[in-house]
A = this chain, B = another copy of it.
Amino acid sequence: MLSKKYKEMLTKKSVIRELSEFATARGAEIGYENVFDYSLGNPSIPVPQEFTDCVIKLLKEENPVKLHGYSPSLGIPEVKEKIATSLNRRFGMEYKGSHIFMTSGAAGAIAHAVRTVTEPGDEVLTFAPYFPEYIPYINHSGAVLKTVPPQVEDFQINFAEFEKMISDKVMAVLINTPNNPSGITYSEETLKKLAEILEKKSAEYGHIIYLISDEPYREIIFDGIQCPYPAKYYKYTLTCYSFSKSLSLPGERIGYVAVHPECPEAETMVVMMGQISRGIGHNCPASLFQLAVAEKADLTADLSVYETNMNLLYDAFMELGFTCVRPNGTFYIFPKALEDDSVAFCKKALKYDLILVPADSFGCPGYFRMAYCIDTEKVKRSIVALKKFVETEYPNR
């Protein structure tokens, strides 16, 4: 007897996966370089050589028994210290190593954060548009994810709808800034207002409503701005991070949860995460990568290509008369489709070898997402295809 729950999940086809499969099949036909595959958020730039050199140095010089030995279940202490120091310097925080829990990427971080602050049946709110994987991440913990409708004018938070939905069942709010799929960072004003409501509601309901802040795109920021650090605005924040995007090593599964030092029992929360690990088979990210990211906590890959690509695409969309909020981070852009049914729109685009993802599964029907973590040269060629697509399929707009 196989598990019904997990077997049933197989019948639900993922739109992104189907599109990605189409792209691969089409690539076999016409050459993958001719398929404008904007489906997957897989970094396209190399890890910095400095990081690779650091990993090789560890392999050559460290005692292998220590280097590859079991990590303590909360993470390697000196790694946690270095990450705390980096966050403190960059964001004016006061983390100690004991506030940091090392995880297998942001997925592992969210898995631990949600289990720490919810009981089965509790509600977690997130804001559309949202990363569709939040649904299994939250719901399989036993908590229940509910989604607040989007504010399409600017993809900041729709506070009117949020205030309607926040009840005494809500134990956590999950945000993602810079945001996948919108490419928007939450402004200081948004974060202040969010904090104000969470504080008010925490007091009203007599329990803390935690903020789980998912920030894997924190370092991919455009126009030289800095992305406001959510934990600065609300003390009951669990910051979830992954080095996948900043260092371009998504396959190595390395990230952390940072618990705001002013959370009651902040250090206990980290120790609880160690207990959660035992039950879900997590047991720490790879030691080698823990040690390497600690050495290079402030390093990033050369992320500038994403801004170049965004500007090319945004200008093209403006020229073609699309409705589109200009991204200020990530490697996503999120325009409105040229017809209400964005699935139909994206299907038509396939004829032009443009792989666009309809945003129904992001909680924002009528829009579509493009992950422009591809070569700039290919972006340029794709814009030619985009123009042809729009002119041919939507001539009378």
A119 to B3, CA, bound (A): 6
Q: Is the CB of B43 within 8 A of A65?
A: yes
Q: Is A176 on the interface with B (CB-CB < 8 A)?
A: no
A interface residues, tally (CB under 8 Å): 77
Q: Is the CB of A281 within 8 A of B59?
A: no
Q: Is the CB of B251 within 8 A of A140?
A: no
Name A94-111 residues within 8 Å CB distance of B: 103-105, 107-111
A21 to B264, CA, bound (A): 26
In the complex where A3-B117, A281-B111 touch, is A268 in contact with B10 (Cβ < 8 A)?
A: yes
Nearest-CB residue, chain B, relative to A41 = B70
In the complex where A10-B268, A208-B1, A268-B10 touch, is A281 in contact with B108 (Cβ < 8 A)?
A: yes
Name A337-389 residues within 8 Å CB distance of B: none
Q: Is A197 on the interface with B (CB-CB < 8 A)?
A: no
Stretch at the interface among A44-52, A80-88, A146-154, A322-330: A44-52
Chain B residues lying within 8 Å of A321, measured Cβ to Cβ, are none
Chain B residues lying within 8 Å of A269, measured Cβ to Cβ, are 2
The distance from the CB of A150 to the nearest CB of chain B, in whole angstroms, is 23
Q: Is A89 on the interface with B (CB-CB < 8 A)?
A: no
A87 to B71, CA, bound (A): 28
Q: Is the CB of B281 within 8 A of A107?
A: yes
Question: Oligomeric state, in number of copies?
Answer: 2
Chain B residues lying within 8 Å of A268, measured Cβ to Cβ, are 2, 7, 10
Q: Is A288 on the interface with B (CB-CB < 8 A)?
A: yes
Chain B residues lying within 8 Å of A133, measured Cβ to Cβ, are 278
Name A45-83 residues within 8 Å CB distance of B: 45-47, 52, 55-56, 59-60, 63-65, 67-71
One digit per residue, 1 when the CB lies within 8 angstroms of any chain B CB and 0 when it does not, for chain A 1-24 equals: 111111101100000000000000
One digit per residue, 1 when the CB lies within 8 angstroms of any chain B CB and 0 when it does not, for chain A 277-301 equals: 0111111111111000000000000
The distance from the CB of A45 to the nearest CB of chain B, in whole angstroms, is 7
- The contact of A59 among B43, B55, B139, B276, by CB within 8 Å, is B55
- The contact of A104 among B45, B265, B281, by CB within 8 Å, is B281
The distance from the CB of A383 to the nearest CB of chain B, in whole angstroms, is 23
Q: Is A34 on the interface with B (CB-CB < 8 A)?
A: no
One digit per residue, 1 when the CB lies within 8 angstroms of any chain B CB and 0 when it does not, for chain A 101-134 equals: 0011101111110011111000000000000010
One digit per residue, 1 when the CB lies within 8 angstroms of any chain B CB and 0 when it does not, for chain A 221-255 equals: 00000000000000000000000000011111110
Residue of A9, A63, A136, A281 with most chain B CB atoms under a 10 A cut-off: A281
Nearest-CB residue, chain B, relative to A244 = B70
In the complex where A6-B116, A208-B1, A265-B2 touch, is A137 in contact with B272 (Cβ < 8 A)?
A: no
In the complex where A52-B59, A59-B56, A116-B6 touch, is A105 in contact with B248 (Cβ < 8 A)?
A: no
Q: Is A42 on the interface with B (CB-CB < 8 A)?
A: yes
Q: Is the CB of B43 within 8 A of A251?
A: no
Q: Is the CB of B287 within 8 A of A68?
A: no
- Taking Cβ atoms with an 8 Å cutoff, the residues of A that contact B are 1-7, 9-10, 42-47, 52, 55-56, 59-60, 63-65, 67-71, 103-105, 107-112, 115-119, 133, 136-137, 139-141, 171, 207-208, 248-254, 265, 268-269, 271-272, 275-276, 278-289
8 of the cross-chain contacts (CB-CB < 8 Å) are: A1-B117, A1-B171, A69-B250, A104-B282, A105-B283, A252-B288, A253-B284, A282-B282
